[in-house]
Amino acid sequence: MRILIAPDKFKGSLTAAEAAAAIAEGALRVYPDAEAIQFPVADGGEGTLEAAVAAGYEERLNAVVGPILAPVGAAWAIRKDAFGGATAVIETAQASGLAHMEPTPANALRAHSYGCGQLIAAALDAGATEIVLGLGGSAMSDGGSGALRALGLKPLDAAGNVVPLGGGSLADVVRVDAGGLDPRLGAVTFRIAVDVQNPLVGPDGAAHVFGPQKGADGDAVELLDAGLRNWASILRESTGRDVNIPGAGQAGGFPASFLAFSNAALEGGFELVAGLTGLADKLAQADLVITGEGSLDSQSLTGKAPIALADAAMRLGIPVLVVAGRILVTPEDLAKHGVVAAAQLLDVAGSPDDAVANAAKYLTWATRSVLEGA
């Protein structure tokens, strides 16, 4: 029997790779002769880099400018192909993540994506011909302007001065000087993983929906939205491209600048990562799939990695088991996606805190339980 063990991360407890190891231990206790294939998955947000490294990409580390100027160490990954090209994988959270910043109104206005641009420059220096951008966990609402600043773009105010970094300054931009923009941007393909359809601006846009998570109060949200609206107008005047499209609002509007100034396309996160890592080939050879994540809820049913994987397995007639930290949907909901049985850590742990603190142990136990009962 071939068991494909492909969980997403258990946020706050286990990385996807750690979760896969714990699930594999439980599975092999029930089926000691099985081939347990550990394959961490992601949906294009945090965890995308980990999934790429697990699939054979070479991890690298660069010191970059964090979202409020303090330096941070940021990982990314690259893999060369047989034709002289190379694919790089970059997560916005690594260089410009909320984990690097206290979420306050002032920081929400000044946070920027400059460090992400530095990682893109490092990938270009390494010979990348394709760059996959994983979005999620970001601190900024700057429309990707900071990243382009790192790559040579100059956003200018009415006096001809370069505006400060951060979404709070975008309303002051009257034009951009693209003369120093890295020419290699025109030769590389950007594939941007998105898992939401929020536009760049407006009530469903980056500032209004995601700004409060980054510390923005009501006034800061309005300033950020006005800045992003102005940035969209400046980009349209400069390139003729409309960047206020579904999906452009993710990661503080980060896709907008690259949709304007590069060969970039938005793609569904899970499908992108699955193709990137070779998950489809592993799935086709599996007799059983075990997946899961920290919290399986209504958001999971909209296409997050575990359910997207379950859908793909169902199309191939492969049964799916789910093990999660907690499950907030019904067995009937899961059955619609081909899940035949499920278990949560809260069923075996003494308390929610215990489940978080000892997640690996309980994940092994829950896996064994669901396999024995399936």
Q: Which domains does the chain carry?
A: 2-40+278-373 (3.40.50.10350), 56-271 (3.90.1510.10)
* DSSP label of 244: -
The DSSP H or E segment spanning 53 is: helix 48-54
Q: How far apart, in whole angstroms, are the C-alpha atoms of residue 180 and residue 121?
A: 14
> Could you read off the pLDDT tens digit of each residue along the chain, which spans 374 residues?
999 999 999 988 999 999 999 999 999 999 999 999 999 998 888 889 999 998 899 999 999 999 998 999 999 999 998 888 999 999 999 999 999 999 999 999 999 999 999 999 999 999 999 999 999 899 999 999 999 999 999 999 999 999 999 999 999 999 999 999 999 999 999 999 998 899 999 999 999 999 999 999 999 999 999 999 999 999 999 999 999 999 999 999 999 999 999 999 999 988 899 988 999 899 999 999 999 999 999 888 877 899 999 999 999 999 999 999 999 999 999 999 999 999 999 989 989 999 999 999 999 999 999 998 86
Strands 2-5 and 35-38: parallel
| C-beta atoms surrounding 12 within 10 Å | 10
Q: What per-residue confidence (pLDDT) applies to 204?
A: 96
Using DSSP, state whether 71 is helix, strand or coil. strand
Q: Taking CA 92 as the corner, what is the angle to CA 55 and CA 48, rounded to the nearest 5 degrees?
A: 20
> Going by C-beta distance under 8 Å and a sequence separation of 6 or more, which residues neighbour residue 170?
142, 143, 145, 155, 163, 224, 227, 228, 230, 231
Backbone torsions φ then ψ of 43, nearest 5 degrees: -115, 25
Cβ atoms 317, 286 nearer than 8 A: no
- Give the helix, strand, coil percentages of the chain, each rounded to 5: 45, 20, 35
Fill in the amino acid letter for 81.
Answer: D
Q: What per-residue confidence (pLDDT) applies to 374?
A: 67
Nearest to 205, CA basis, from 261, 251, 274 = 251
Q: How far apart, in whole angstroms, are the C-alpha atoms of residue 116 and residue 136?
A: 12
The DSSP H or E segment spanning 321 is: strand 320-324
Q: Say what the pTM is.
A: 0.89
Q: What per-residue confidence (pLDDT) applies to 350?
A: 86
Backbone torsions φ then ψ of 132, nearest 5 degrees: -95, 125
Q: What per-residue confidence (pLDDT) applies to 82?
A: 83
Q: What per-residue confidence (pLDDT) applies to 300?
A: 86
Nearest to 272, CA basis, from 138, 90, 134 = 134
Q: What per-residue confidence (pLDDT) applies to 47?
A: 86
Find the distance separating the first CA and the last CA of the chain, reported in whole Å: 15
Tracing tokens 């594999």 back to the chain, one arrives at: 24
Q: How far apart, in whole angstroms, are the C-alpha atoms of residue 3 and residue 291?
A: 10
For the purposes of burial, counting CB atoms within 10 Å of the CB of 160, is it exposed (0-12), middle (13-18) or buried (19 or more)?
exposed
